[in-house]
Amino acid sequence: MTEIKYYAAPLEGVTTYLWRRIHHEIFGGADKYFTPFVSPNANCRFQTKELDELDHNEGLPVVPQILTNSAEYFLWAAREMYDRGYREINFNLGCPSGTVVAKRKGSGALADPEALDAMLEEIFTGLPKGMALSIKTRIGKKSMEEWPRLLEIYNRYPLAELIVHPRLQTEFYRGHAHREILSDTLRDTKHPFCYNGDVFAPETAAEVLAEYPSIDSLMVGRGLITDPALLRRLHGGAPAAREELRTYHDRLYEAYCVRLSGDLNAIYRMREVWNYLSGNFRDTEAFLKKVRKAKTRTDYLSAVDHLFAEGEMNPCPLPPAGK
């Protein structure tokens, strides 16, 4: 049995290039970091925010992700990534957001398997030689019955790996990941298989891997933003210490202050991070209220200082329900 690999999932607005470097330096551990999606269009030009994601990853194992409904735009982006030295990219067929799905992108593409098949055919025909492509997918749009046909389509192409988040588009992040599809999926897939969904603690990872030993890799998203030491814990290492979390927070906040103009933009970013990171402490309602109200650096840091000085730590950090 080959050793299991652990990946950091992409979270738009959270797992930025700044986050990746800081996370890697403090907590290490991800065999691959996937970028939040870049969304190529007819302009054939990446936005500044997208270029940041592609151009600041020296020394890190980063896989850029593409979200589109067009093989032509996909191939343009793939060539740009090839020219920047990337040899593996990822196709987002999982995003459940209403605006994305309405354009038949992300998990919206799953609603029309024949069109998806045609798009993949064109993409694999035109992909630069030597460029590996993985897919990150949900298991359908509205019904679990869609999954066998989608898997059949994925089996027709030489994917580097198949990353599956077993929820339907319509479920967003509600309920539980449908782990029950894994037995049939692992039997039928022709690709290296990565499981992604609701792994928030080493015990859950151990449970999934014991039940489905042919899984090749595990991807963690919300669990890793809640507990940045999660990958280290999955390798048998120590949980995050309070001082470590403080250093992680300060470096991230200061990096956003430098990159984004004005106090408020950095605070907005940190609000999203705190939605998850607050899971490391007990009784954080008052703290989160203060962070949501903070408009200045002074107010923001005073709330954070208080939490780190007085907050009781939670030994089993969990992300907020339904987020």
Ligand X SMILES: Cc1cc2nc3c(=O)[nH]c(=O)nc-3n(C[C@H](O)[C@H](O)[C@H](O)COP(=O)(O)O)c2cc1C
Shortest Cβ 9–ligand X spacing (Å): 3
Q: Which of 136, 149, 61, 151 is nearest to 106 (CA)?
A: 136
| Dist. CA 67–CA 36, nearest whole Å | 9
Q: Which is nearer to ligand X, 211 or 305 (CB)?
A: 211
- Indicate the residue whose CB is closest to ligand X: 221
209 within 8 A of 182, measured Cβ to Cβ: no
Helix (H) or strand (E) holding 194: strand 193-196
Q: Which two tokens stand for residue 307?
A: 């939490």
All residues at 6 or more sequence positions from 179 whose CB lies less than 8 Å from its CB, including other chains: 166, 197, 208, 211, 212
Q: Which is nearer to ligand X, 33 or 37 (CB)?
A: 37
3-state helix, strand, coil in the chain (%, to 5): 50, 15, 40
Q: Which is nearer to ligand X, 130 or 322 (CB)?
A: 322
Shortest Cβ 97–ligand X spacing (Å): 9
Shortest Cβ 136–ligand X spacing (Å): 5
C-alpha distances out from residue 8 to 33, 46, 237, 247, Å = 5, 23, 17, 20
Burial class of residue 240 (count of CB atoms within 10 Å of its CB; 0-12, 13-18, 19+)? buried
| Backbone φ and ψ of 39, nearest 5° | -125, 85
Q: Which is nearer to ligand X, 208 or 307 (CB)?
A: 208
Q: Which is nearer to ligand X, 92 or 217 (CB)?
A: 92
Kindly list the residues in this chain that would bind ligand X in the complex (CB under 6 A).
9-12, 14, 36-37, 65, 92, 94-95, 136, 165, 196-199, 220-223
Q: Which is nearer to ligand X, 50 or 198 (CB)?
A: 198
Q: Which is nearer to ligand X, 55 or 298 (CB)?
A: 55
| Dist. CA 30–CA 23, nearest whole Å | 9
Q: Which is nearer to ligand X, 52 or 299 (CB)?
A: 52
Q: Which is nearer to ligand X, 102 or 309 (CB)?
A: 102
Determine the distance from the C-alpha atom of residue 237 to the mean position of all C-alpha atoms in its chain, rounded to a whole number: 22
Shortest Cβ 200–ligand X spacing (Å): 7
Shortest Cβ 49–ligand X spacing (Å): 12
Shortest Cβ 96–ligand X spacing (Å): 8
68 within 8 A of 39, measured Cβ to Cβ: yes
| Dist. CA 256–CA 119, nearest whole Å | 37
Shortest Cβ 54–ligand X spacing (Å): 14
Q: Which of 31, 34, 36 is nearest to 11 (CA)?
A: 36
Shortest Cβ 259–ligand X spacing (Å): 18
Q: Is 36 helix (H, G, I), strand (E, B) or coil?
A: strand
Shortest Cβ 129–ligand X spacing (Å): 25
Q: Which two tokens stand for residue 236?
A: 């048998």
